[in-house]
Amino acid sequence: MKSSELFDIAKTLIPGGVSSPVRAIKPYPFYTKRANGSRIYTEDGDELIDCCMGYGPLLLGHCHPVVKAAIEEQATNGWLYGTPTEKEIELAKIIACDHPSIDMCRFVSSGSEATMAAIRLARGYTNKKDIIKVEGGFHGAHDGVLIQAGSGALTMGVPDSAGVIPDVVSHTMQVPYNDIESLEEILSKNKDIAAFILEPVMGNVGPVLPEKDYLKEVRKITAENDVLLIMDEVICGYRVGIGGAQVMYDIKPDITTLGKIAGGGLPMGIFAGRKEIMELVAPAGPVYQAGTFSGNPLSVSAGIAALRYIHENSGLYDKLDGFTKEIEDYLPERYRNSFVRLGSMFKLYFRDSPPSNYVEAKQSDTEKFGKFWKGMLKEGIFLPPSQFETNFVSAAHTTGDIEKISEAYCKCL
């Protein structure tokens, strides 16, 4: 098969043969030749209904004509200037209008870059050194957040990657998701905490959903302790609705990070927040951040087109919520209790009940998931190849697609 041959070559040129670890499917990943709408077409001639959607950015599906037209129009005028563009202002206006917590935005090139800059900004604003994150929460691949689960609660954090200096992660502590008491305990013992960064809906082991009033209590406690709240909405921003989870749950963080959908599926990261905080970013203030490709016109154009389309199609989110509800309702009853969904995000956990945090999610039966995943692929459905990644549907999926996905679930289970 061609994918097998390509992977053999790739392993001699690219570490592990892939450009991101989650793509390392055993015994070899399939290679994509093209994609359109809800479908991926492989180098081996297979047609797959895609429920990965680039790991979240493609809310509108592959090659959406509105986004494609915006990219093509911009490409005719150039794709990198190294200067400001009017479109940056336009995209910033849309984002600020959609999020009551946001006055100003800074565009970067990835979600990792956005969270890294947000943490630096929080430290610069508060003059404090430490941060707290949620155990198992993913905030990119930079040193300060690569900390092993189970370490760093009230003790020194342990790096989760070779090459990360222990001194760096010693300033990162962790608390379980949906656990207010642990957060209160850390804040009572450490007065040098600059920020608490969390995914309001855990996406990288998920979706794992917040329990009733959890996010409101987080906001209350962080404010009372003069700790900035950073909501990492790189995954759920514009995925669960306009304004993301913070609007859905009525929370106003101090700093927000966005990406994925906000870039229309092109490389994009954003950190944003209140004016008094954001004006500390260089060149307006002393917190340094820079990047050659920051705010590049192709990504900005794609982002504007995608967000305009979302605004102009008010029924989109209800449609996507209906799709995941249909999949849930189609499942045999004994599996529904461990099926988790929020709008267009969904996942079946191979455990008896939906997880409330990382530790519970990790108790899922990954061997069963692996067999299930392979079965789904044979049925023509591409799910993210991990029990701990969120599945997505898009505006490009059809009622027929959802029926096929639902039938495949039942057959493979």
- pLDDT reported for residue 150: 55
Q: Is the pLDDT of residue 281 over 60?
A: yes
Q: Which CATH architecture has domain 65-311?
A: 3-Layer(aba) Sandwich (3.40)
- pLDDT reported for residue 310: 98
More confident of the two residues 205 and 178? 178
Q: What is the mean pLDDT of the chain?
A: 95
**Is residue 157 very low, low, confident or very high in pLDDT (cuts 50, 70, 90)?**
low
Task: Please name the residues in contact with 224: beta carbons below 8 A apart, sequence gap of 6 or more.
Answer: none
pTM of the model as a whole: 0.95
Interatomic CA distance for residues 113 and 92, integer angstroms: 18
Asked if residues 141 and 21 have their Cβ atoms less than 8 Å apart, the reply is no
Q: What is the pLDDT of residues 189-202, one digit of tens each?
A: 999 999 999 999 99
Helices (H), 111-260: 111-126, 166-169, 180-189, 214-224, 244-248
What ranges do the domains of the chain cover? 31-63+314-412, 65-311
Q: Is the pLDDT of residue 42 over 50?
A: yes
Q: Is the pLDDT of residue 147 over 90?
A: no
- pLDDT reported for residue 154: 42
- How many Cβ atoms are within 10 Å of 11's Cβ, its own excluded? 13
Stretch 226-249: mean pLDDT: 98
Q: Which residue in 267, 255, 315 sits closest to 126, CA to CA?
A: 255
- How many Cβ atoms are within 10 Å of 336's Cβ, its own excluded? 12
111-120, 139-148, 248-257, 295-304, range with the lowest pLDDT: 139-148
Q: Residue 66 in 3-state DSSP?
A: helix
- pLDDT reported for residue 156: 54
Q: Do domains 31-63+314-412 and 65-311 have the same CATH topology?
A: no
63-77, 80-94, 167-181, range with the lowest pLDDT: 167-181
Asked if residues 61 and 37 have their Cβ atoms less than 8 Å apart, the reply is yes
Interatomic CA distance for residues 231 and 237, integer angstroms: 10
Rounded alpha-carbon distances, angstroms, from residue 23 to 175, 259, 381 = 29, 20, 16
Specify which residues 287 forms β-bridges with: 281
Rounded to 10°, the helix 316-330/399-412 angle is 30
Q: Is the pLDDT of residue 58 over 60?
A: yes
Q: Is the pLDDT of residue 238 over 60?
A: yes
Q: Which residue in 34, 38, 33, 40 sits closest to 61, CA to CA?
A: 38
Domain 31-63+314-412 grouped into CATH 3.90.1150.10: yes
DSSP string, 185-225: HHHHH-S-EEEEEE-SSB-TT--BPPPTTHHHHHHHHHHHT
